[in-house]
Amino acid sequence: RGNALAGLGRYEEARQEMRRALQLGKKGETIMPQVGDALFSYELGDDLYSAQQLKALVNKYPGFTDSRAALAAIEWTEGDLERAQENLEIVFEEDLRYSDSEWVSDYRRWPPRISSELKKFVASKEGSA
């Protein structure tokens, strides 16, 4: 339900649905709602919370590429270029589709703000190559 609301641009409601799913979910089955909560929070301007959540998710689930890709985009936006680069390299080792902004926004269904940040980061890497 949270993703459907996000598809309608109703990010506050989407975030609330993700948080409700977290409360109802079984331990170990909450990675997607946690990532959704972080992405929707970023879209709503809660950058610090989003970054903290994504860092915690990357530490807990280092192989979950979605959270690492989002964290890389935020780190790049905040000027933490070294960490952003490290995370993006790991992401691309796992899944090159994150370099495709249409795949990120249309298939992964990331909100516009974080999708745009990742797109700009990837474009800056391509421009410097």
Can you tell me the mean pLDDT for 51-75? 96
Cα–Cα distance for residue pair 19/62, rounded to 1 Å: 22
Residue 129 binned pLDDT confidence (cut-offs 50, 70, 90): low
- The first and second tokens of residue 69, run together, are 């890709």
Average pLDDT over residues 78-100: 97
Q: For the chain, percent helix, then strand, then coil, each to nearest 5?
A: 80, 0, 20
Q: Quick one: pLDDT at residue 23?
A: 87
Which conformational region is residue 28 in: left (phi greater than 0), alpha (psi within -120 to 50 degrees), or beta? left
Mean pLDDT throughout 31-52? 95
Of 30 and 98, more confident = 98
Query: Model pTM?
Result: 0.91
Average pLDDT over residues 86-96: 97
